[in-house]
Amino acid sequence: MGNFDPPNLHQGQSFNTPYGVDQSVIDDYTAYAHSVWPKGHDFFISEADLYEDETGQHAVKIELEVDLRQYVEYYLFYDKNNKRTKVMKGKSWHQFHM
């Protein structure tokens, strides 16, 4: 799955949810984030980036703030029927401010 473009760049399509993402995908990535979330911490998705290719496959990169200034990202891939096909853990980092 390569060459993903943000789904909101497709002109002439009507979408029911923000950025053209089906509600089932939003529900799925939110549920996934809850499943990997550290117990006892407030839940916060700091960023969700949405992508789609010309075949209808799409992906979501979610960035979770798991602790104060500590982040981890996950990539969730979906087929054209909005079924999750793959998950990859991305980088983890701690953001320092001076």
Tens digits of residue pLDDT in 12-22: 333 344 456 78
Tens digits of residue pLDDT in 61-98: 999 988 778 899 999 999 989 999 999 999 999 988 76
pTM of the model: 0.74
Query: How distant, in Å, are the alpha carbons of 9, 35, 49, 96 from that of 56?
Result: 13, 26, 16, 38
Query: How distant, in Å, are the alpha carbons of 6, 7, 8, 60 from that of 11?
Result: 12, 9, 8, 20
- Strands (E) in 16-94, as ranges, are 45-52, 58-67, 70-78, 84-94
